Amino acid sequence: MSVFDDPGLFGRLWAADYDGPGNPDPAPAVDFLAELADGGPVLELAIGTGRVALPLAERGLSVHGVEASEEMVAQLRAKPGGDQIPVVVADMADVPVKGEFRLAYLVFNTLFNLVDAERQADCFRNVARVLSPGGAFVIETFVPDPRDFDSDEQVQVRSVTEDSATIRLHKYDRPAQRFIRQTITFDAEGVHLRPFAMRYAWPHQIDEMAQQAGLRLTERYADWQRRPFHADSPSHISVYRAE
C-alpha cells in the first residue's frame, strides 16, 4: 500500500527506532502542555510510544490517545505506566473517541503526517467535536521554507559502516504541498526501504482550517519556551480554543 494511503505505515516501519537518539527532548512540550491542561482530561493524537503522554500521566493527568500503528502502541505498552493509558488504534484524523477534553494536542510536526488537505481539515473538525467549551488544541509544526526544497532533494548520506550504508532522498510536489522521503539501507541482507510522506502547510493555512472548524487562534509562539513568533521563525506552537 502507498505511503499516501496507509496512516499506520510510518509506525510499522519506524516503531523499533522511534525512541532512539536524535529525537527532540519532550520535556519542554510536557511542561507547556501540563500547564495548559488545567487538570485534564487530555487527548494526544498520534500518541506513538508515549514520549509526551507518559510524563503527563505521571503528573496526575488523565491522558487518552489515538494511534494508527499497533507497533507504536506495543512500544508504549512495554513502558512503565503505558498499559494504563487508553489508546484507540485508528486514523487520528477521525478522532474516534468520546468525551470532553480540556486539551488535545499534536506535536513533532505530526499534523503533516496527514498527507491530504482534506484529512487535515477533518482532524480539526473532529477535535473541535470533543473539546470542552474553552478547551485548547495545540499544534507544533515547522514553518515551510521554499529555500530548503531544492537542497533537500539532494542525496543525503545518513551513515556508512563496514557492514552497511544508509542514504536519504526527498522529492517535493510543490502544488500539492507534499513530499515523499525514502530512507534506503544497503547491507548484507539486501536493500531496505523506509518511506515517509508529509503534507506541509504554512501557519496561515492551519489557522484557516482551525477557523473553519470553529476554533480560534489564541496564542502562537516560536517554541515551547514561549519565545515570540516572528516571520522568520522556523517553527511554531499554536494554541486554538473552542468557541
Q: What is the pLDDT of residue 40?
A: 82
Structural domain 3-144+201-242, CATH architecture: 3-Layer(aba) Sandwich (3.40)
CATH of region 153-198: 2.20.25.570
Q: How do residues 11-61 score in pLDDT, each as one tens digit?
A: 555 556 666 666 788 999 999 999 999 898 999 999 999 999 999 999 999
Enumerate the domain spans of the chain: 3-144+201-242, 153-198
Per residue, the 3-state secondary structure of the chain, as one string, reads: CCCCCCCCHHHHHHHHHCCCCCCCCCHHHHHHHHHHHCCCCEEEECCCCCCCHHHHHHCCCCEEEEECCHHHHHHHHCCCCHHHCCEEECCHHHCCCCCCEEEEEECCCHHHHCCCHHHHHHHHHHHHHHEEEEEEEEEEEECCCCHHHHHHCCCEEEEECCCEEEEEEEEEECCCCEEEEEEEEEECCEEEEEEEEEECCCHHHHHHHHHHCCEEEEEEECCCCCCECCCCCCEEEEEEEEC
Q: Please state which of the ranges 6-10, 80-84, 147-151 shows the lowest mean pLDDT.
A: 6-10
pLDDT band at 5 (very low <50, low <70, confident <90, very high): low
| Report field, pTM of the whole predicted structure over 0.85 | yes
Identical fold between 3-144+201-242 and 153-198:
no
